[in-house]
Structure 1
């Protein structure tokens, strides 16, 4: 595996190193030793999947607070999406900045999203399926969502969302007290 840090410290793309022959190929998607060597989370409690039927479906920007904060490692197994990471880590020098990476079944690239970052994605083809490791269990009381078009962050999507949930579209403008659990 090849680990490349993005413009946001702690956010990595992970490219597989397939070994192939006439039958096809084999590649490792996870190796506890290699993840630990790069200072990345090695303990995952869930392995999830998400399917988006319609092109330009947008989901996000989701994260969890405090002890419920989670690391995600995302990989697309069918179709293509653009994955977005928004840095909401308190005290981070890149707080409020975002990055995006194209993930597809063809490029087999994965993305590592650390705790404290909001995550979202837009399907760029029909019938997109992704899988992701999660380091913590879902906690509805700690769940937060940042509206993708909050002017404070200026996240730029590659297309107008064809489908977005009412919850995601109606997320409130950023408020450090609610979004970060800070005392004012």
Structure 2
């Protein structure tokens, strides 16, 4: 598996080796030894899966109580996945990394605790799978407005075509959000 450091230290892109033949393909989506060697946690608390339609934007979500690290991937379809640094003391505070994750590239993104996360769906449907390092905490959940110009994520979906939940439409601007020290 190839591990690539992104523009924000600590956010890692994993590209597994794919073995293809006439039947299809095989790839490894998780290897505890490799994760340990990369310095990632291996004590996962939940595995989550969502299916969304083209134009859906989910996020920008994070938890101030029980912050979660996430290892995210796409089982089918394609998304733009974004990790936003919400650590006030970080030199990359407010900056983001956005990558395409798809069934074709098989890539996974490690998003450490202290980051906001969101994705947009580029294909007719996408199946999004992710492991998290802590349990969901409704009391600690926060949302930053998905189209906050201070962050400037290019979701590759026109604002007029974006399908966004009421909760996500009510997200706060980064300037007004509760963030990490």
TM over 0.5: yes
Alignment of 1:121-132 (within 5 A): 121-132=119-130
Aligned residue runs from structure 1 range 76-87, under 5 A: 76-87=74-85
Q: Is the 8 A contact 2:2 2:17 kept in 1?
A: yes
- In the other structure, the counterpart of 1:45 is 45
CA distance in structure 2 between the partners assigned to 1:149 and 1:27 by the alignment: 34
Query: Which runs of 5 or more residues in structure 1 are unaligned?
Result: none
Q: CA deviation at 1:13?
A: 0.8
> Which residue is equivalent to 1:163?
163
* Distance (Å, rounded) in 2 between the aligned partners of 1:181 and 1:18: 37
TM-score (norm 2): 0.91
Gaps of 5+ in 2: none
Distance 1:129 1:121, change over 3 A: same
Q: Distance in 2 between matches of 1:181 and 1:69?
A: 10
How far 1:4 sits from its partner (Å)? 0.5
Across the two proteins, how many residue pairs are aligned to each other? 179
Across the aligned residues of Structure 1 and Structure 2, the Cα RMSD in angstroms comes to 1.7
Q: Give the SS at the match of 2:84.
A: strand
When normalised by structure 1's length, the TM-score is: 0.90
Deviation at 1:149, TM superposition (A): 2.0
- The aligned runs of 1:133-148 (5 Å cut-off) are 133-148=131-146
